[in-house]
Structure formats: structure tokens, C-alpha cells
Structure 1
Amino acid sequence: MPDTDSYFRAARALMVDSQVRPNNIIDDRIVTAMRTLRRERFVPASLASRAYADTELPLGGGRVLPPPLTIGKLAHFAAIRPGERVLVIGAGTGYGAAVIASCGGAVFALEDDAALRAIAEQALSAEAPEVRLVAGPLAGGDTKHAPFDLIVIEGGVEFLPDTLTTQLAPGGRLIAILYERGIGRIVRAEPSGDGFAHRAVADCHASPLTAFRRKPEFVF
């Protein structure tokens, strides 16, 4: 590739203009972040040429980098306010966390896969050094740095762990892609009683995060 920087710069512009903005992702902060962040740094080198494609990219171990539009939708419905403390669960290689940080959030990125954290550490140090990378089980959240104003789960889930309600500040919210009866929808959830009350805001597909799959029920 004779001029790599120009190639990727053009690919970023095409990604935003053909995938993101036509789908009503028009928040200037999100658009600017996605035009600026070098998404090719958030994938293994072998996938760099596909970094801006409108598809999931396999990262190994059953994990993927979500398509640009999925990240854009999550950031859009998160409606980040400057200075909010944000936990991104299942942050993978860190691209979604970097987009949210560019929107003004103080972001903690939780990831349990060491190989993905290694990519994230290198990419974030160059693209979004303000993001704090955290290691630990995904379903447990991040009690050390709680409470958060916003929790974003970056991947498909079959349930919203009740334990995460205690990691939200008063008035806090959770954004996730929840699968019910096989249909994925972005939901906005808020603590209610001992769990979450949620409402769907948009249809969205995402590969499932194993930590948020329901255990099969034993039936006689």
C-alpha cells in the first residue's frame, strides 16, 4: 500500500459518510471521533485493511470488533454528558471506549481477555490515553472505580446483571444490546427495586458476550 495514511484517512471519511451519518448518528462529537480515531490500530495487523468495513471483525476467542454503526449507535443512545464517569464492559480492543472518551466521558474500559487488552493498551496509548484499562470478569463490573454515571456493555447480552445496579451513581443509566426472543435491541436501563427497568430504543445486532448468556434451565 503506497500511501497508508491517505488510504486510511479516506477509509475513515467513507465509513462516516456512508455508514454512520446516513443512519442518524449526527452528534458532532461522535462524528468527529470516528473521523479522527485510527480504527486500524484497534485490530490485529492482519485485519487493518478491513478495519472500516461495515461488518464485525473477528478478534479471536469468539470475540469481535463491532461494526462502526453499532459503536455509533451505542454512543448516540448513551448521550454522554461531559465529565460523566463511564464504565465500558467488554471493551475488547478499546475502540468503543475511545469513541465515548472523545465525547467527554471519563472512561474505564473493562476487559477479561488478556490478548485483547494487549491490543487495547497499545491502541489507547496512541489514540485515547485518557481511557483507563481495567482487567477483570465482565459480569462483575468494576467495583473498585464505581460509582459510574453510565455503564455501556459492548456486545449482545441475554440479561442485565442486578449486581451492576449498585455500581451506578444516583440517576445513572445502563446501555446494552439485549436479546429477547432472539431479537437484539439497544436498551436504556435504570435501577428499579433490586434490578433494572429498561426500554428498547433501537434494533441492533451484536455477537453475544459469553459472560452475559443465561445458563440453560434444567427441565424434567
Structure 2
Amino acid sequence: MLRLEDSYLHKGQRRNLTQTLRKKGIKDEAVLEAINNFPRHFFFDSALLSHAYEDKAFPIGEGQTISQPYTVAFQTMLLNVKPGDKTLEIGTGSGYQAGVLYCMGAKVHTIEFNEVLYDRTRKFLPKIGVKVKHYCGDGSKGLPEQAPFDKIIVTAGAPTVPKTLLKQLAIGGVMVIPVGDRNTQQMLRLTKQTDKKILKENFDNFAFVPLLGEEGWQ
């Protein structure tokens, strides 16, 4: 049973969490404000509610997790989201990352491979005021019918950068994606300077669930 009350206690815990993230190197004030304002405990069953504002990942069923807040903040910081950015999220999961992007003013399209999670999140997010466009399918192939996107964020570990996603990125657009093996991935930021020129930046290592699909893990 999910609790949808946002108490003074929860707000205080979020303030503490944002201070923790700041100490870990998250400097983007827009990202910190979104995490400070968006209730993560809404995504937790009552048995785990006391852990909602720990800087840890937790299972959400179907072999998936709600990402560690630092990971969400780090990816979002790299993405450099601006209000109105047409943003594609690959891997809806719990919907928490999509909610953070929505709070920052992004126009979010989110795709989930797992039908159970897709159905659960599609029904849940509107109940907490998060309005994004939901899709169920192979995220490694993106959403060609909705392209181009200003921003693309991949919340699952890919073996390589899917070429199809790069094609769907607008000129000047940014994609943030973890790439590596099934255990550890390096966070990459790819900026599409022209159709043929991609600026690639490498950041820290993380551990994500695998990106499934035609251009992910088969």
C-alpha cells in the first residue's frame, strides 16, 4: 500500500538527502531543487518507507530497482535539462527519474521494456501529478516516430551506444548513457554537434540493470 502523504518529516528527510548529494559533488541547483521537491517515498511500499531517503537503490520487483538518488542526480546533471526540452527516457522503471525530469520542466517521453512495470507506472504517475507520455517496447530502438529529441537519458546499462538513439538526437542534443558489461558501466555524455560529429565525454563507473532489446543485451 503506497502512502501519498508528504509530511514535514518527509520534507526534512529530502532536505537532508539534497545536502548529502551536494557533498557528493552534485552542484546543479535545478537538479537539487527537483529532488528536494519530488517525494521519493511515494514510490516505496510501507515496509520500506523508512529507507526512502537513504542514498541507496532499492528493488521494485520484476528484477528492477529504483535508482540510487546520487545516480539519478548525476545523470540528470550531465543531461543539463532546460524547461521545455523534449526528453526521451529509456527505462521508465519506477517512474522516479521521469518525475524528476518532469519537475524540471522537461517534456518527457518514457519507454519501458517490461510490460508489468509499464502498466504499473503508467497508472501511478498521473496520481501524483506527473504528466509524461508512456510507451512499452524496445527502448534500445527509441521512438523514431517522436524524434528528434533535445535530450536522451538511458537508465539501463548498454553494451554499446545504440546508433538508432544517436540518430534520434537533435543537433545540439545530449544523450547520457551507461556503457559497459553486465556488471559495471561507464557513464558517457554524447553531444551531437553535427550529423557526423559526436562529442564524447567519459565519467564515473556505475552499475545498472541491463538494457534489453535489439541494440542492447539480447
Q: Which TM-score bucket, shorter chain as reference?
A: 0.7 to 0.9
Q: Distance in 1 between the 2:122 and 2:67 partners? A: 18
How far 1:181 sits from its partner (Å)? 10
Q: 1:12 aligns with which of 11, 14, 17?
A: 14
Maintained 8 Å contact 2:109/2:134: yes
- Structure 1: where are the runs of 5+ without partners? 216-220
Q: Distance in 2 between the 1:57 and 1:158 partners? A: 23
Asked if 1:23 is matched to 2:24, the reply is yes
Asked if 1:35 is matched to 2:36, the reply is yes
How far 1:9 sits from its partner (Å)? 2.1
Structure 1 residues 4, 124: closer, same or farther in 2, change over 3 A? closer
TM-score, with structure 1 as normaliser? 0.83
Q: Kindly provide the amino acid, as one letter, of the partner of residue 10 in structure 1.
A: G
Structure 1 residues 99, 4: closer, same or farther in 2, change over 3 A? closer
Q: Distance in 2 between the 1:7 and 1:49 partners? A: 11
Q: Spell out, residue by residue over 1:88-110, the C-alpha distance to the aligned partner (whole angstroms, 9 max, x if none).
A: 10121111111112222111111
Asked if 1:135 is matched to 2:119, the reply is no
- Structure 2: where are the runs of 5+ without partners? none
How far 1:13 sits from its partner (Å)? 1.7
TM-score, with structure 2 as normaliser? 0.84
Q: Distance in 1 between the 2:62 and 2:40 partners? A: 20
Count matched residues.
212
> Residue 155 of structure 1: SS of its match in structure 2?
coil
Question: Cα RMSD between the aligned structures?
Answer: 2.7
Asked if 1:172 is matched to 2:169, the reply is no
Q: Distance in 2 between the 1:37 and 1:4 partners? A: 10
> Residue 157 of structure 2: SS of its match in structure 1?
strand
> Residue 186 of structure 1: SS of its match in structure 2?
strand
How far 1:114 sits from its partner (Å)? 2.6
How far 1:194 sits from its partner (Å)? 7.7
Maintained 8 Å contact 1:184/1:204: yes
Asked if 1:103 is matched to 2:118, the reply is no
Q: Distance in 2 between the 1:168 and 1:176 partners? A: 13
How far 1:41 sits from its partner (Å)? 1.6
- The aligned residue for residue 53 of structure 2 is 52
Q: Kindly provide the amino acid, as one letter, of the partner of residue 15 in structure 2.
A: A
- The aligned residue for residue 149 of structure 2 is 148
Q: Distance in 1 between the 2:91 and 2:108 partners? A: 13
Maintained 8 Å contact 1:44/1:59: no
